[in-house]
Chains A and B, each alone.
Chain A
């Protein structure tokens, strides 16, 4: 042994182990570089997450603010209710065209009352107000006919361009080139703001209002989409949880080792990796074309998402069942319980936290899924809220959060990009809450055996 050491390549007296020779230095530098690559990769991953979130937040946060105008509007009886009986069914004959001049005159009068002078024509002044405000005014009057003949204060939505001006999306320079807005109108808006008649406030309508047409981004909201997503999640929960748990119990506790069981196992692991759009094709062909269910309905979306979520829930549930130690089963069987009783009375309750965690994660995945829903017609323009589930609301047309986002990205007005980013923030918040709940459940109830 001593011979080898003495005759080693480094030789004696050439230096101590503490001094690196060239080769060791090279190897150590390679080590450092390699470690650095790893660190860089981790940083790129986290950096991309940060970049993604910043991009979404910077585009979308402003959609939670909305610019409105405070206007005094006269509601003359001779224009709105000639009969004078205040019957909404008669008054509804006056369309929004009848209300538009009132709002315009109201704005002009409000300008005059506050001493704001402008060279713009009345029509140009009226363009500051969103078309949607007219419909809102009409609905308000029809809901409460007693206001006719009085002057009421209206918080009218500003038009999309004015709204964009206060969110730095529209500038004086871009207004020059824009046929929908002029710099003079923006200046007028500025003066209205100085007078306290125009301001921004929290945009509750964004969460409750239905979608709006291409020309009214300021009025577009997520009401129908949130409701549709909620309906679908309900269906997924009601169907996927029992079916998934039943399937897992069978596979984990009862299934004999045979071809059929193997076939089921292979199918589940493959379904987990099938592209989601294929499930959309399945939904279109089976549920809509074959079974004749209506398009755009939450029931079809729910069914498709159920099939998509099942593998996730089954995999999670099986892991949870597997984690329950065999001694529990043996003890139950030893006390005379049947196999079925040992599973349902002892194993299942102990596995419940794991199952719930898996289910919530599966639901979160289903909530963000877009592609299959596009194929079953959820991308339609829906302004009507679906009925409550008891009145067959599952069969009414609706849309879903991610599909609404996609829908808005397809519109030309850049204001819809803001809306889409805002909707993504809402979607991510939902997902965050769901995942935090799952983590909380796991921390709180998980038992290590």
Chain B
């Protein structure tokens, strides 16, 4: 039975439970709703909730767990000889699943000319599969076919058992709720408790996400370090993945990538911090109200522009401009994609980030400090340099750290502007590459999750996550600490 049908039946049951529970509650007090403990709607809601929540939970858990368990049991029945050399159980399982889908289709349209499962042979099924456009990793073998038939049948049986279990639980819930629906029953309390749990679950998704990020990267990173030594990864000075030969042939040192990342981020910060800071100072201390109300949103538009737009700007405009105006005449290289290109454009992207954060922080400095300084005869710029900026310094450092974390994790600008060559070099007009660029290039296209060349992306991702997390935590700590000072 398809899942959508189960959902429809559940929805119908929920509606029935709602109305019957409500009617029964009202009936139990002879239609005088004032004698109910809660408003009638709460009895209805309680009915629907009791009917649906356990059933939906069961359905969700079943849908997640069933494929894993089924795969495992089918694979354990598969003889070792069914897995050809150079293939993995995962690939064979993929074939089994595709063949099972094909067999199901074949029976649905009666293409085999028979309903007898044992009469299936590999040639006939193979033909029908290829006619249907299904491509298999390896030629169909008898083992795979019988596993596929088992798989298909188990899937059908399991789906019926699931439907029965889910709908059964929903029915029990409905009956239970209707029975409980009496005037004395504290329906509102129960419903509110349920809603509270729901709210709490929604809030906990943030934790689940973090957990998912860390665990998914951690597992694959451990896989990677089983195939590739971690000292090589962290200390090797070359990045040279080879996709032809498995293992040993690749050199996957993170240092050239980290160098590129930090170099580009450094240039970006050199651009963004002074401009952003001065803009924030001007807008909060000097600019008139009208100028501020126009200029501030305009600068903040820069923050709303997607990074792919900056990437194209770097690729089409800034890169060729820098090459023709500086790099080629100075003999520093003739590549349009360079550290400078990516750094400059990323700096532009970060201007609003630095300026709006600094703006907040400068505005948080108490007016009394300004007044005191001005009252002693300092000019406005002296006040800013010697009173406001020192007072706001921790916050500004926090803002710069947040900007640095953004720069390190930025992807599209460097993918389009920085180039793909991993090198340790000081020349800013040379193409270099970053951690994020390599994550993208190792994980797009054909990927083989057993080879270190693909798995290295997870190690890179984890490194990136740890670095940015550290910067963020440090920045938030500094900002928070500073805020407490004046509050």
User: CB within 8 A of A278: which of B219, B276, B406, B464?
Assistant: B464
User: CB within 8 A of A268: which of B188, B195, B206?
Assistant: B206
CB of A388 within 8 Å of the partner chain: no
User: CB within 8 A of A340: which of B192, B298, B309?
Assistant: B192
CB of B7 within 8 Å of the partner chain: no
Within A239-295, the residues touching B (CB, 8 Å) are: 242-244, 246-247, 249-251, 254-255, 263-264, 267-271, 273-282, 284-286, 289-292
Kindly supply a per-residue 1/0 record for chain A positions 410-432, scoring 1 wherever the CB is within 8 Å of any chain B CB and 0 otherwise.
Answer: 00000001001100100110010
Are the CB atoms of B436 and A371 closer together than 8 Å? Answer: yes
CB of A405, distance to nearest CB on chain B (Å): 5
Are the CB atoms of B305 and A285 closer together than 8 Å? Answer: no
Contact status of A276 and B351, CB under 8 A, knowing A254-B199, A268-B206, A405-B312: no
Are the CB atoms of A49 and B381 closer together than 8 Å? Answer: no
> Could you name 14 residue pairs across A and B whose Cβ atoms are closer than 8 Å?
A42-B283, A45-B299, A246-B203, A247-B199, A255-B203, A282-B213, A286-B212, A290-B216, A370-B311, A371-B307, A377-B444, A420-B312, A424-B309, A427-B309
**Which residues of chain A are within 8 angstroms of B461 by Cβ–Cβ distance?**
277-278, 281
CB of A55 within 8 Å of the partner chain: yes
Stretch at the interface among A26-34, A106-114, A191-199, A215-223: A26-34
Interface size class of chain B, counting residues whose CB lies under 8 Å from the partner chain: 35 or more
The 8 residue pairs across chains A and B that have the minimum distance between CB atoms = A275-B409, A368-B306, A38-B282, A285-B216, A41-B278, A246-B202, A34-B381, A371-B411
CB of B164 within 8 Å of the partner chain: no
Within A314-373, the residues touching B (CB, 8 Å) are: 314, 338-340, 364-365, 367-371
CA distance A339 to B307 in the complex (A): 43
CA distance A221 to B200 in the complex (A): 44
Are the CB atoms of A254 and B196 closer together than 8 Å? Answer: yes
Kindly supply a per-residue 1/0 record for chain A positions 398-415, scoring 1 wherever the CB is within 8 Å of any chain B CB and 0 otherwise.
Answer: 000010011001000000
Are the CB atoms of B210 and A46 closer together than 8 Å? Answer: no
CB of B53 within 8 Å of the partner chain: no
Are the CB atoms of A285 and B220 closer together than 8 Å? Answer: yes
CA distance A292 to B381 in the complex (A): 61
CB of B408 within 8 Å of the partner chain: yes
CB of B449 within 8 Å of the partner chain: yes
Within B192-231, the residues touching A (CB, 8 Å) are: 192, 195-196, 198-200, 202-207, 209-210, 212-213, 216-217, 219-220
**Which residues of chain A are within 8 angstroms of B188 by Cβ–Cβ distance?**
338
Are the CB atoms of A374 and B440 closer together than 8 Å? Answer: yes
**Which residues of chain B are within 8 angstroms of A31 by Cβ–Cβ distance?**
379-382
Within A11-55, the residues touching B (CB, 8 Å) are: 27-28, 30-31, 34-35, 37-42, 44-46, 48-49, 51-52, 55
CA distance A379 to B295 in the complex (A): 37
CB of B313 within 8 Å of the partner chain: yes
CB of A251, distance to nearest CB on chain B (Å): 6
CA distance A385 to B248 in the complex (A): 43
CA distance A38 to B362 in the complex (A): 14
Who on chain B is nearest to A427 by CB? B306
Are the CB atoms of B207 and A370 closer together than 8 Å? Answer: no
CB of B182 within 8 Å of the partner chain: no
Contact status of A428 and B305, CB under 8 A, knowing A250-B200, A289-B449: yes
Task: Identify the B interface with A (CB < 8 A).
Answer: 64, 67, 188, 192, 195-196, 198-200, 202-207, 209-210, 212-213, 216-217, 219-220, 274-279, 281-283, 285-287, 295, 298-299, 301-302, 304-313, 315-317, 348, 351-352, 355, 379-382, 384-385, 402, 405-406, 408-412, 415-416, 436, 439-440, 443-444, 449, 457-458, 461, 464-465, 468-469, 472-473, 476
User: CB within 8 A of B309: which of A52, A277, A379?
Assistant: A52
CA distance A246 to B295 in the complex (A): 36
CB of A86, distance to nearest CB on chain B (Å): 27
Are the CB atoms of B199 and A249 closer together than 8 Å? Answer: yes
**Which residues of chain A are within 8 angstroms of B310 by Cβ–Cβ distance?**
52
**Which residues of chain A are within 8 angstroms of B384 by Cβ–Cβ distance?**
34
Who on chain B is nearest to A35 by CB? B286
Are the CB atoms of A369 and B306 closer together than 8 Å? Answer: yes
Are the CB atoms of B203 and A291 closer together than 8 Å? Answer: no
**Which residues of chain A are within 8 angstroms of B380 by Cβ–Cβ distance?**
31, 35
Task: Identify the A interface with B (CB < 8 A).
Answer: 27-28, 30-31, 34-35, 37-42, 44-46, 48-49, 51-52, 55-56, 59, 242-244, 246-247, 249-251, 254-255, 263-264, 267-271, 273-282, 284-286, 289-292, 307, 310-311, 314, 338-340, 364-365, 367-371, 374-375, 377, 379, 402, 405-406, 409, 417, 420-421, 424, 427-428, 431, 435
Are the CB atoms of A274 and B295 closer together than 8 Å? Answer: no
User: CB within 8 A of B210: which of A34, A246, A267, A276?
Assistant: A267
CB of A262, distance to nearest CB on chain B (Å): 11
Are the CB atoms of B283 and A30 closer together than 8 Å? Answer: no
Are the CB atoms of B306 and A402 closer together than 8 Å? Answer: yes
Q: Which of B216, B306, B315, B465 has the most CB of A within 10 A?
A: B306
CB of A45, distance to nearest CB on chain B (Å): 4
Are the CB atoms of A38 and B216 closer together than 8 Å? Answer: no
Who on chain B is nearest to A307 by CB? B209
Are the CB atoms of B305 and A52 closer together than 8 Å? Answer: yes
User: CB within 8 A of B308: which of A41, A286, A406?
Assistant: A406
User: CB within 8 A of A35: which of B203, B311, B381?
Assistant: B381
CB of A435, distance to nearest CB on chain B (Å): 7
Are the CB atoms of A435 and B304 closer together than 8 Å? Answer: yes
Main SS at interface, chain A: helix
CB of B59, distance to nearest CB on chain A (Å): 15
User: CB within 8 A of B381: which of A30, A278, A282, A409?
Assistant: A30
Are the CB atoms of A274 and B282 closer together than 8 Å? Answer: no
Are the CB atoms of A370 and B299 closer together than 8 Å? Answer: no
In the complex, given contacts A45-B302, A409-B416, what are 10 additional A-B residue pairs having Cβ atoms less than 8 angstroms apart? A30-B379, A38-B283, A41-B279, A41-B282, A42-B295, A55-B317, A249-B199, A307-B205, A371-B307, A420-B312
CB of B101, distance to nearest CB on chain A (Å): 13
CA distance A368 to B311 in the complex (A): 12
CB of A144, distance to nearest CB on chain B (Å): 28
**Which residues of chain B are within 8 angstroms of A307 by Cβ–Cβ distance?**
205, 209
Are the CB atoms of B213 and A278 closer together than 8 Å? Answer: yes
**Which residues of chain A are within 8 angstroms of B196 by Cβ–Cβ distance?**
250, 254, 340
Contact status of A264 and B207, CB under 8 A, knowing A277-B440, A282-B216: yes
Are the CB atoms of A374 and B312 closer together than 8 Å? Answer: no
Are the CB atoms of A56 and B312 closer together than 8 Å? Answer: yes
**Which residues of chain B are within 8 angstroms of A278 by Cβ–Cβ distance?**
213, 217, 409, 461, 464-465
Q: Which of A270, A310, A435 has the most CB of B within 10 A?
A: A270
CA distance A285 to B278 in the complex (A): 43
Who on chain B is nearest to A371 by CB? B411
Contact status of A368 and B216, CB under 8 A, knowing A38-B279, A42-B282, A281-B439: no
User: CB within 8 A of A55: which of B205, B316, B351?
Assistant: B316
Are the CB atoms of A310 and B295 closer together than 8 Å? Answer: no
User: CB within 8 A of B281: which of A38, A277, A292, A424?
Assistant: A38
**Which residues of chain B are within 8 angstroms of A242 by Cβ–Cβ distance?**
202
Contact status of A282 and B212, CB under 8 A, knowing A243-B205, A291-B64: yes
**Which residues of chain B are within 8 angstroms of A424 by Cβ–Cβ distance?**
308-309, 312
User: CB within 8 A of B206: which of A40, A51, A264?
Assistant: A264
User: CB within 8 A of B468: which of A275, A368, A435?
Assistant: A275
**Which residues of chain A are within 8 angstroms of B436 by Cβ–Cβ distance?**
275, 277, 371
**Which residues of chain A are within 8 angstroms of B220 by Cβ–Cβ distance?**
285
Are the CB atoms of A38 and B286 closer together than 8 Å? Answer: yes
CA distance A417 to B313 in the complex (A): 11
Contact status of A38 and B205, CB under 8 A, knowing A55-B313, A374-B440, A409-B312: no
Are the CB atoms of B204 and A264 closer together than 8 Å? Answer: yes
